[in-house]
């Protein structure tokens, strides 16, 4: 069973790298966007994490 999990993890990782580095019509990729403006993505991630935390707390109350 460990071999199957390792295989699936490898396939998922390979697909993620392929998807992130795949060029769009304008010649850029998601990785290019991340490297050009990392603070924008970090701020979006923080906002999302805060919103999810608030949503989780409200559900428990």
pLDDT bin (cut points 50, 70, 90) of residue 28 is very high
Give the predicted TM-score (pTM) of the model.
0.59
Q: Which residue has the tokens 């994490």?
A: 49
The answer, yes or no, to whether residue 60 has pLDDT greater than 90, is no
pLDDT digits 0-9 by tens, 31-58: 998 899 899 889 999 999 999 999 999 8
Alpha helices, DSSP H, located in the chain: 2-21, 30-36, 38-60
Which letter does DSSP use for residue 31 in this model? Answer: H
Q: How many domains does the chain have?
A: 1
Domain that holds residue 48: 2-60
């Amino acid at each position: 069973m460990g071999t199957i999990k390792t295989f699936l993890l490898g396939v998922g990782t390979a697909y993620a790298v392929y998807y992130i580095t795949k060029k769009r019509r304008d010649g850029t990729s998601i990785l290019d966007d991340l490297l050009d403006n990392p603070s924008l993505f970090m701020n979006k991630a923080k906002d999302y994490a805060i919103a999810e935390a608030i949503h989780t707390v409200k559900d428990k109350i």
